[in-house]
Amino acid sequence: MKRLLRHLILPAAFLALCAVPWLSNDYIQYIFNLVLAYVVVAIGLNLLLGFAGQFAFAHAAFMGIGAYTAALLSSRFGVSFFLALPASGLLAMILGMLVALPSFRLKTVYLAMVTMAFAELVQWVLIQWKTVTLGTDGVSMPWPSIWGHTLQGDKEIYYVILPIAFLAYLFARQLLQSRIGRAFVAVRDNEIVARSCGMNVALVKATAFGVSAFYAGIGGALFALALRFIVPDGFGMFQLILHFSIVLIGGLGSLGGSVIGAVVLTTLPEVLRGFQALQEIIYGVSLVIFMLFMPRGIAGFLQAHGWYPREILVRGWREARAGAGYGLATPLFRTEREDGN
Amino acid sequence: MYALTLICAGLANGALYALLALGLVLIYKTQDVVDFAHGELFMAGAYIGFTVYQLLGWSYPLAFVFSIAGGALLGILLELIVIRPVVGHPHVTIAMVTVGVSYTMKGVVRLCFDSDIHTMPPVSNSSVSWGGVVIATQSLINISVAILLTVLILALFQWTRAGLRMKATQQNPRGARVVGIDTGKIYALTWGLAAAIGAAAGFLAAPVTLVYPDMGAQFILKAFAAAVLGGFDSVLGAIVGGFLLGVAELLAGGYISTRLIDVASYLIIIIVMIIRPQGLFGRSAVVRV
Amino acid sequence: MNPVLRVSDLTVRFGGLTAVDRVRLDIDAGQIHGLIGPNGAGKTTFFNAVSGLVPAHAGSLALAGKTITTAPAHVRARLGIRRTFQALQLSPHLTVLENVMFGLHSEIRENPLRTILNFSVRKSADWLAQARARQTLENLGIGDLALEPAGRLPFAQQRQVELARALVAAPKLLMLDEPAAGLSPAEIEQLDRMLVRLCKESGVAILLVEHVISLVMNVCERVTVLDRGSVIAHGSPTQVAADPSVRQAYLGDGNVAAD
């Protein structure tokens, strides 16, 4: 019975969220769209920072690349949004794997600085390469169309953004409960042990960067869709710090935490819109207070008190525990092993 | 001739980068913390100077003194209240704390002073002519201050008891405590010193960069680039890196493209990290995994 | 029949210091080989060189006939060398099961797309892998601790988790770095029996570094003694114990205290 309930949570949540456009006005709908875009971005950063332990400051740049790819392909080349979307993810992913290279040798803060420099460089390119990106004039994102019908308005694009965000969450969970997710965590906790267990650490890092950037790219495309107009300025340091805040306040190493963080930190700036000084103060102070008193974020706090479970990174651990029986007589060891592994 | 002008101007800019980088390096060496709020300490120095001189109407030298003292006080308070509790936590946590401080300071300043841009007069409006090149006296002052402070810091480490204690704390905090060094005082002293230097840089920079809440953002990245170039754990590296960056920026801007001036710092960070991550004077063990 | 491990003239240098000087040894399948020597003799460096964490400057290494001298550490692990560490290296916040599953990383083969798209538990690659992990834990007597956070277990059991992580991939060579350190005499005896059983049942070769001489004497078939990077004695435990140069290396007579 408990198992059935567990399996129903996500579908139920999805159905509940599908009802939102009937209950909201345009502004609230816009916020929902924005939050979901940030959920995807935050999951990406959490995979890299929380699970793989790589302190990289380039996430906003990947988001920007994704956003610009989607917007430019749609508006200047008439490509359908549904083709531009994977393109955004892929382009960001390729750049992400490039940024992975310094991570093979550099320690934490140095990696942070070189990725920060890279991010600034990307933003500079977005501003200067006027012929392609239209520079500071910005690019507008046209309404997506599907099977000849153009989706218009925040409420209609919600039905594009919502399923994508859900799939993003689902795929992240699948990834984490596999050898890939475990490899991320092993590399985070102890690279030497990881190597001694047969893990190619460089490949694991490259994978982490690639997947994380892919998510940022997709999130960027959704962001462009929600905002409908993007400028290079929007993908600089402030955006980056927002990402980090979402992941840290929500909870590092917890997918649920990314959702919580996205909800909390996306709504806040909107509420304080127009009061930049106040925004900065509340934002800054919250960040400090959370880091001092709740460094593992909201999800971490809930987990420590047992109110929110940590998902164990082994698929089917519950089924095995219930004595499902493997039906295999596996010998403890073999001395003959196939080579060429 | 043209090159010489660029070099002199570059050294003047570089002096300011060097001062900020110096503060960053001091804090990093002592506590293994990268201070992302350093640009705001720089800004604080400029605003304190502005308040004392322009708003209160007191004398210029006094404004400078207040600026440095205010900076030092801010640094010490920050260390005590916000940094001390998180030393030893993961780097991400510490970094985010300094980022939070940075935003809070920007917000407070914006609340008190508005986002308006204010002006400050330079120490001296005159200029010096030397071998056909005209150098502003202010530039010479900046360069001298940077060199002087670096020499003082190096001397501090080498010859004074406080300096020795700082070195001991850097190398082994637990060991330092065992021999009776009050590492808490050392941390506070380091931050006070670093912040004071940063504030001084802000005061000196204000006449040219103008005074506004976001003025720290541009400079912090250049400070990082200078520190990375020189070696993040080297005091000498900070000043050399600062001067080199300042000169390289303007030479590249003058001879290749003015657009390079903005990105020079980013490119330098990336190139240094690829070729020689420990910078010119840093130790390799500090950097590699 | 090739020895499982053949070390020929292995040399490791750090700057001007030669930490390991032309060491040679052979270990056959099912054999337990002890490596002892005073502190600073180069045992840890040798260990790290064999497992691939430290590069060798000269000499060669072969695993079951295959040369691995320049192979990176993770490749050696995949080929069949697994090890434990002197200072416990577990992920304390993860469960025992997750820690042990790290060891199966290279044994699990699954197309990443399948990983993401396959929602059936029983058809996932993890299902079979988990069976092996649980069985290994069962064989070491800690099967019911699978879902405990590793950091909360008593020290001896944490050591067993680390051992499980190394064993789960059915290695050809198991390298143990001071496995008895921190164990009570009763626990050492247990370890003793377990190692012997392991070799007999599975044929795995074991190389162990140890200061607890009683363990070495009881369990090892052959012992190599290192001093200042070179081999000073080699043979059965009794032979080595009687060797005067070994006594000299340890300062004083043959009464070597356990750690």
Structure-model confidence comparison of residues C256 and A148, the more confident one: A148
- pLDDT digits 0-9 by tens, B191-206: 999 999 999 999 999 9
Q: Which domain does B35 fall in, by range?
A: 21-216
Q: How far is Cα A211 from Cα C26, in angstroms, rounded to an integer?
A: 44
DSSP code for A328: -
Which of A175, A189, A319 is closest, CB to CB, to C121? A319
For A87, the 3-state DSSP assignment is helix
Residues in Cβ contact with B48 at an 8 Å cutoff, skipping those fewer than 6 apart? B63, B66, B67, B70, B71, B199, B203
Q: Which of A187, A194, A196, A249 is nearest to A48 (CA)?
A: A187
Total structural domains within chain A: 1
Q: What percent of chain A lies above the pLDDT cut of 90?
A: 49
Query: Is the pLDDT assigned to residue A283 strictly greater than 90?
Result: no
Chain B residue closest in CA terms to A127: B259
Residues of B numbered 156-215 whose beta carbons fall under 8 angstroms of chain A's beta carbons: which are they? none
Q: How far is Cα B97 from Cα C177, in angstroms, rounded to an integer?
A: 40
Query: Is the pLDDT assigned to residue B66 strictly greater than 50?
Result: yes
Least confident of A211-225, A303-317, B27-41, C101-115: A303-317
B99 and A241: CB-CB below 8 Å?
A: yes
- Rounded to the nearest integer, the mean pLDDT of chain B is 87
Supply the pLDDT for residue A329: 42
Which of A191, A277, A285 is closest, CB to CB, to B111? A277
Per the domain annotation, does A18 fall within a domain?
no
- Rounded to the nearest integer, the mean pLDDT of chain C is 88
Query: Is the pLDDT assigned to residue B288 strictly greater than 70?
Result: no
Q: How far is Cα A138 from Cα A126, in angstroms, rounded to an integer?
A: 10
A185 and C91: CB-CB below 8 Å?
A: yes
B95 in A contact zone (CB under 8 Å)? yes
Query: Is the pLDDT assigned to residue B246 strictly greater than 80?
Result: yes
A316 and C53: CB-CB below 8 Å?
A: no
**A chain contacts of residue C127, beta-carbon cutoff 8 Å:** 315-316, 320, 326
Q: What is the mean pLDDT of residues A63-89?
A: 92
Q: Residue B285 — pLDDT band, cuts 50, 70, 90? A: low
Per the domain annotation, does A323 fall within a domain?
no
Q: Determine the distance in angstroms separating the CA of A293 from the nearest CA of chain C, rounded to an integer.
A: 20
E strand or H helix that includes residue C133:
helix C125-139
Q: Residue B283 — pLDDT band, cuts 50, 70, 90? A: confident
Query: Is the pLDDT assigned to residue A336 strictly greater than 50?
Result: no
Per the domain annotation, does B261 fall within a domain?
no
Supply the pLDDT for residue C54: 92
Query: Is the pLDDT assigned to residue C50 strictly greater than 90?
Result: yes
Total structural domains within chain B: 1
A332 and C136: CB-CB below 8 Å?
A: yes
Query: Is the pLDDT assigned to residue A13 strictly greater than 70?
Result: yes
C103 and A197: CB-CB below 8 Å?
A: yes
Which of A195, A313, A321 is closest, CB to CB, to C147? A321
Per the domain annotation, does B28 fall within a domain?
yes
Chain B residue closest in CA terms to A237: B217
> Can you spell out the DSSP letters for C160-223?
HHHHHHHHTT--SEEEEESTTTT--HHHHHHHHHHHHHHHHHH--EEEEE-S-HHHHHHH-SEE
B275 in A contact zone (CB under 8 Å)? no
Least confident of A144-158, B15-29, C19-33: A144-158
As a residue count, chain B comes to: 289
Query: Is the pLDDT assigned to residue A340 strictly greater than 50?
Result: no
Supply the pLDDT for residue B289: 53
Q: Determine the distance in angstroms separating the CA of B89 from the nearest CA of chain A, rounded to an integer.
A: 9
Q: How far is Cα B154 from Cα B146, in angstroms, rounded to an integer?
A: 12
Q: Residue A339 — pLDDT band, cuts 50, 70, 90? A: very low
**A chain contacts of residue C116, beta-carbon cutoff 8 Å:** 171, 174-175
Supply the pLDDT for residue B18: 94
Q: Determine the distance in angstroms separating the CA of A173 from the nearest CA of chain B, rounded to an integer.
A: 23
DSSP code for B288: B
Q: Return left, alpha or beta for C7; rule: phi > 0 is left, psi -120 to 50 is alpha, else beta.
A: beta
- pLDDT digits 0-9 by tens, C185-234: 888 888 888 899 988 888 899 999 988 888 888 899 999 999 888 999 99
Q: Which of C30, C35, C89 is nearest to C208 (CA)?
A: C35
Q: Which of A131, A154, A133, A151 is nearest to A143 (CA)?
A: A151
Supply the pLDDT for residue C182: 85
**A chain contacts of residue C102, beta-carbon cutoff 8 Å:** 182, 186, 193-194, 197, 199
Helix, strand, coil percent content, chain A, rounded in steps of 5: 75, 5, 25
Q: Backbone phi, then psi, for A142, in 5-degree steps?
A: -75, 160
Q: Which domain does A79 fall in, by range?
A: 24-236
- pLDDT digits 0-9 by tens, A255-275: 999 999 999 988 877 777 777
Single-letter amino acid code for the residue at A321: R
Per the domain annotation, does A192 fall within a domain?
yes
Which of B97, B228, B286 is closest, CB to CB, to A291? B97
Per the domain annotation, does B99 fall within a domain?
yes
**Pairs of residues, one from chain A and one from chain C, whose beta carbons lie less than 8 Å apart:** 154
- pLDDT digits 0-9 by tens, A79-124: 889 999 999 999 999 999 999 998 888 888 888 888 988 998 999 9
Supply the pLDDT for residue B286: 57
Supply the pLDDT for residue C258: 46
Q: How far is Cα B191 from Cα C21, in angstroms, rounded to an integer?
A: 48
Which of B92, B105, B266 is closest, CB to CB, to A120? B266
Per the domain annotation, does A291 fall within a domain?
no
**B chain contacts of residue A279, beta-carbon cutoff 8 Å:** 107
Q: Is A101 exposed, middle or buried (0-12, 13-18, 19+ CB in 10 A)?
A: middle
Per the domain annotation, does A277 fall within a domain?
no
Supply the pLDDT for residue B287: 56
Per the domain annotation, does B55 fall within a domain?
yes
- pLDDT digits 0-9 by tens, A151-205: 888 888 899 999 999 999 999 999 999 999 999 999 999 999 999 999 999 999 9
Supply the pLDDT for residue A230: 92
> Can you spell out the DSSP letters for A33-74?
HHHHHHHHHHHHHIIIIIIS------HHHHHHHHHHHHHHHH
Per the domain annotation, does B90 fall within a domain?
yes
Supply the pLDDT for residue A327: 43
A335 and C204: CB-CB below 8 Å?
A: yes
Chain A residue closest in CA terms to C110: A179
Supply the pLDDT for residue B35: 92
B258 in A contact zone (CB under 8 Å)? no
Q: What is the mean pLDDT of residues C23-51?
A: 90
Per the domain annotation, does B163 fall within a domain?
yes
Query: Is the pLDDT assigned to residue C259 strictly greater than 60?
Result: no
Supply the pLDDT for residue C248: 80
- pLDDT digits 0-9 by tens, C139-154: 888 888 888 999 999 9
- pLDDT digits 0-9 by tens, B99-144: 999 999 999 999 898 888 888 888 777 888 877 777 888 888 888 8
Q: How far is Cα A180 from Cα A47, in angstroms, rounded to an integer?
A: 11
Supply the pLDDT for residue B194: 94
- pLDDT digits 0-9 by tens, B210-245: 898 888 988 898 999 999 999 988 889 999 999 999
